[in-house]
């Protein structure tokens, strides 16, 4: 049915939208978007996740306001199908199964009818007057007259077998629906009516939507990963004649930290996050494990980081030696750092805005740039299902959500003046709790208003953040525990628990001997050695060693030239 903006709140929205367009002036020309659209009126659905407290009334208001934009732009109305995060995946999968079941039933009925008609003709029982195809759908005039006799467009209800745009929230979800064959290929749209997306979405993020060479998802542009910063006290660096440009790793700072500890009691020698930068543990949840690797902080994709016993990783043993030395000296302070704290060296993970307050008193070096992983890059993406009413029209909506702020802010924040307002700096201030959406689940973050609690330049900083982003050396490697012998995984977990508990109590003086002893234990541990092996000695079971899985992946991802 035709949606009209009738409430005062929605009228306010329209006024606010017009005002924002007049004020901004930087919106891109979207003349290329929708130039191939079909003229017929259409209603598309968007399946997504709503936040806690979101009401049906608020969703209806946002749906109507979004439709007012898409109807004018594309002759397309919107139907929002929003569910809680806990129920979403189950609802989505059930919907797809129900659609496929209905389509299969209709296909079977059509085939049965075709066979019956064929048999009737063969028996000379068919009536020539009844040979007209009864399945031909009648074309309905999509324009009607309103109460004033003016032409009004009629937008049809969503069909039972229709599923258009839907949200996916992680890599596993992407793979599941790709394997089900329900994701439409989007490359043709990206080369034509939706090519504007290439100007708005980071190339690495856009490329991540490919499966088997075909783009099947548009990842929502958002800030990916975090920096690791090293802060060096300006006064003390100058006092001891160090060059901050020479101190580029944690290991480089050891002598400086020792100088501060021995001579400057007013300063904590080290504060912040002392965890090893570049560590990768081969576990399902990233928890500590004896099986891992520690690459250089600037290691690029294509660097081999095969699973090993940590005691065989030189970078890790060098790191733990420094930590134990500083622990024994009492030179390690708290893990949290605040502006005003006095320390020699500090390590902070986060964004540039997290360290700007330290710039006057500290040199700031980047230990590691933000890294894209499968865990953080696939945190929100849109796909168009193969059950869509129109792939072209669906991609028009996806493109608009990722390139224009009016529709984007509606979906993310609701109605301006009802659900939120903007402060004097243009930052969102929430007015109610009945419409709550995750920003990364609703489109391109960088074309939305700055979220509550942020600052006006947040998206400009985020764009630079993503330009500095690199692919993790483990980008593309999937740790799939179902392929591993559970007995070996369990044995490694048990050994790891004891290993790190013992390590906690080892002193600097004891460390070298302890490492020699534990290394011999690991060499003699058949379970750990079998887990990290690069060849499969037992070909009769369904499992493969972790080392072989990694080696096979690395050889495939980075073939030798």
Looking at residue 143, its pLDDT comes to 58
- Domain membership of residue 103 as a residue range: 8-222+377-468
Whether 193 and 310 map to the same domain: the answer is no
CA distances from 52 to 435, 437, 439 (A): 8, 8, 14
Whether 58 and 191 map to the same domain: the answer is yes
Whether 158 and 197 map to the same domain: the answer is yes
422 close to 449: Cβ distance less than 8 angstroms: yes
- Residue 387 lies inside a defined structural domain of this protein: yes
Looking at residue 144, its pLDDT comes to 65
Three-class secondary structure of residue 77 per DSSP:
strand
Looking at residue 18, its pLDDT comes to 42
- Residue 474 lies inside a defined structural domain of this protein: no
Question: What is the C-alpha to C-alpha distance for residues 479 and 550, in angstroms, rounded to an integer?
Answer: 9
Question: What is the C-alpha to C-alpha distance for residues 59 and 435, in angstroms, rounded to an integer?
Answer: 7
Whether 184 and 209 map to the same domain: the answer is yes
Burial grade of 530 (CB within 10 A; 0-12, 13-18, 19 or more)? buried
- Residue 476 lies inside a defined structural domain of this protein: no
Whether 212 and 231 map to the same domain: the answer is no
Whether 196 and 71 map to the same domain: the answer is yes
531 close to 546: Cβ distance less than 8 angstroms: yes
Looking at residue 538, its pLDDT comes to 80
Strands 279-281 and 214-215: unpaired
Question: What is the C-alpha to C-alpha distance for residues 114 and 342, in angstroms, rounded to an integer?
Answer: 84
Q: Which of 317, 346, 375 is the last residue of a domain?
A: 375
The CATH number of residue 381's host domain is 3.40.190.10
Enter the pTM of the model: 0.85
Whether 329 and 253 map to the same domain: the answer is yes
- Residue 88 lies inside a defined structural domain of this protein: yes
Looking at residue 149, its pLDDT comes to 63
Whether 425 and 306 map to the same domain: the answer is no
Looking at residue 537, its pLDDT comes to 83
Three-class secondary structure of residue 235 per DSSP:
helix
Looking at residue 109, its pLDDT comes to 83
Question: What is the C-alpha to C-alpha distance for residues 332 and 347, in angstroms, rounded to an integer?
Answer: 12
Overall domain count for the chain: 3
436 close to 49: Cβ distance less than 8 angstroms: no
Question: What is the C-alpha to C-alpha distance for residues 418 and 396, in angstroms, rounded to an integer?
Answer: 27
- Residue 475 lies inside a defined structural domain of this protein: no
Profile the chain (561 residues) by mean pLDDT over runs of 10 residues.
Answer: 45 46 43 50 98 98 98 97 98 96 88 79 58 44 60 88 98 97 97 94 96 97 97 98 97 98 98 97 96 96 97 98 98 97 98 96 98 96 98 97 97 98 98 97 97 96 96 96 97 98 98 98 98 89 95 95 71
Looking at residue 115, its pLDDT comes to 76
Whether 179 and 245 map to the same domain: the answer is no
Question: What is the C-alpha to C-alpha distance for residues 246 and 12, in angstroms, rounded to an integer?
Answer: 57
Whether 82 and 37 map to the same domain: the answer is yes
The b/e string for 294-304 (b: 16+ C-beta within 10 A; e otherwise) is: bbebebeeebe
The secondary structure of the chain in percent helix, strand, coil, rounded to multiples of 5, reads: 45, 15, 40
Looking at residue 150, its pLDDT comes to 65
Could you tell me which of 484, 498, 493 has the C-alpha nearest to residue 550?
484
Looking at residue 136, its pLDDT comes to 44
Q: Which of 354, 375, 396 is the last residue of a domain?
A: 375
């Amino acid at each position: 049915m035709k949606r009209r903006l009738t409430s005062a709140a929605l009228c306010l929205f329209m006024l606010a939208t017009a005002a924002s367009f007049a004020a901004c002036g930087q919106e891109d020309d979207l003349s290329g978007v929708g130039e191939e659209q079909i003229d017929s009126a259409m209603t598309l659905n968007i399946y997504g996740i709503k936040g806690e407290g979101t009401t049906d009334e608020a969703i209806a208001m946002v749906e109507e306001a979004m439709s007012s934009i898409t109807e004018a732009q594309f002759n397309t109305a919107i139907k929002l199908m929003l569910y809680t995060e806990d129920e979403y995946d189950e609802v989505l999968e059930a919907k797809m199964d129900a659609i496929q079941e209905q389509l299969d039933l209709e296909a079977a009925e059509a085939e049965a009818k075709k066979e019956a008609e064929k048999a009737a003709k063969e028996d000379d029982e068919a009536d020539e007057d009844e040979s007209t195809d009864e399945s031909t759908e009648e074309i309905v005039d999509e324009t009607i007259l309103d109460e004033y006799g003016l032409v009004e467009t009629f937008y049809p209800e969503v069909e039972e077998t229709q599923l258009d745009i839907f949200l996916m929230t992680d890599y596993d979800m992407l793979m599941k629906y790709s394997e089900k064959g329900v994701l439409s290929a989007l490359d043709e749209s990206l080369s034509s009516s939706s090519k504007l997306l290439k100007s708005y979405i980071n190339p690495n993020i856009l490329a991540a939507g490919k499966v088997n060479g075909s783009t099947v998802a548009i990842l929502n542009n958002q800030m990916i990963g975090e920096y690791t910063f090293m802060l060096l006290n300006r006064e003390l660096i100058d006092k001891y004649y160090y060059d901050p440009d020479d101190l580029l790793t944690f290991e480089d700072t050891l002598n400086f930290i020792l100088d501060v500890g021995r001579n400057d009691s007013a300063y904590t020698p080290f504060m912040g996050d002392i965890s090893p930068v570049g560590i990768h543990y081969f576990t399902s949840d990233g928890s500590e494990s004896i099986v891992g690797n520690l690459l250089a902080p600037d290691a690029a994709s294509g660097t081999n980081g095969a699973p090993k016993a940590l005691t065989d990783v030189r970078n890790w043993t060098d790191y733990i030696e420094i930590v134990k030395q500083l622990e024994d000296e009492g030179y390690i302070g708290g893990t949290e750092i605040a502006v005003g704290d006095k320390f020699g060296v500090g390590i902070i993970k986060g964004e540039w805005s997290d360290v700007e307050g330290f710039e006057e008193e500290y040199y700031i070096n980047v230990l590691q740039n933000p890294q894209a992983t499968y865990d953080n890059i696939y945190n929100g993406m849109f796909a168009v299902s193969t059950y869509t009413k129109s792939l072209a029209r669906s991609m028009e909506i996806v493109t608009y959500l990722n390139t224009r702020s009016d529709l984007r802010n509606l979906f993310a924040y609701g109605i301006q003046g009802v659900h939120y307002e903007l402060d004097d700096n243009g930052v969102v201030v929430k007015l109610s709790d009945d419409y709550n959406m995750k920003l990364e689940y609703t489109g391109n973050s960088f074309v939305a208003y700055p979220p509550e609690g942020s600052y006006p330049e947040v998206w400009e900083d985020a764009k630079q953040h993503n330009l500095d982003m690199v692919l993790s050396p483990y980008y593309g490697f999937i740790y799939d525990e179902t392929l591993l012998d559970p007995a070996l995984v369990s044995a490694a977990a048990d050994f790891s628990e004891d290993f790190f508990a013992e390590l906690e109590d080892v002193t600097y003086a004891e460390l070298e001997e302890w490492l020699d002893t534990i290394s011999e234990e690991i060499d003699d541990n058949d379970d750990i050695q079998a887990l990290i092996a690069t060849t499969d000695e037992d070909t009769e079971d369904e499992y493969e060693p972790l080392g072989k899985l990694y080696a096979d992946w690395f050889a495939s991802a980075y073939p030798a030239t």
